[in-house]
Amino acid sequence: MKNLLAVLIASVVMFSFVGLAPAADKLSKDDKDTIKDAMRNLQAVAAECRLARDHTENDRVQSMASKILGGDDKMIEQIHDLRKKYDLEFDTSPSNPDIKDRRGLDKLEGKKFDREFVDTMVQQNEELLKIFKNGAKSENSDVRDWFDKKQDAIRDHLDMAKKMQHDLKD
């Protein structure tokens, strides 16, 4: 009888602590929002980079667009993997402002296109860096580690865009 009582008490104590432990295998609302924001912004940058790669006559702008696109496409694939792991579903269609920005960019030509594209890359990569810094604060280790590791790539893209922005002002 003592053994049964001891097992019962041990079970109650053990299961009471399970509810107190953070759910590392779950996503908080903030995690979900951060992942959605990262996906939407990465997709917008990738779409504009595809446009620039095919639209510009400036080899340096084309090269920058290709480099950013390659990195962002890999991150988009990795976010899809993270979504699948946590069974996270959301609409990945571009937002209306993203569509409007792309259409506005598509109407431009020559140096005006190049400057506007590069200015957009600076703005969007600054926004992405904020999102990635936020994601690196997650309590979920998968989310935290992924966003923390990918911040350097976003910083590289931002630095590249800022340098090109400076070069195009001349």
Tell me the average confidence (pLDDT) per consecutive run of 10 residues in the chain, 170 residues long. 57 48 71 96 95 94 96 96 92 83 90 96 96 97 97 97 92
3-state secondary structure of 170: coil
| Domains of the chain: total | 1
Residue 124: CATH number of its domain? 1.20.1260.10
Q: For position 22, what pLDDT does the model report?
A: 43
Would residue 6 count as lying in a domain? no
Would residue 13 count as lying in a domain? no
Q: For position 61, what pLDDT does the model report?
A: 97
Would residue 153 count as lying in a domain? yes
Q: For position 84, what pLDDT does the model report?
A: 93
Q: For position 3, what pLDDT does the model report?
A: 63
Would residue 108 count as lying in a domain? yes
Distances (CA, A) of 151 to 33, 66, 84, 118: 17, 19, 22, 20
Q: pTM score, two decimals?
A: 0.82
Residue carrying the six token digits 């590289």: 156
Would residue 133 count as lying in a domain? yes
Tell me which H or E stretch contains 23. Answer: none
Residue carrying the six token digits 């992942």: 35
- Residue 140 zone, left/alpha/beta (φ > 0; ψ -120 to 50; rest): beta
Would residue 77 count as lying in a domain? yes
Would residue 62 count as lying in a domain? yes
Q: For position 169, what pLDDT does the model report?
A: 86
Would residue 17 count as lying in a domain? no
Domain that holds residue 94: 28-168
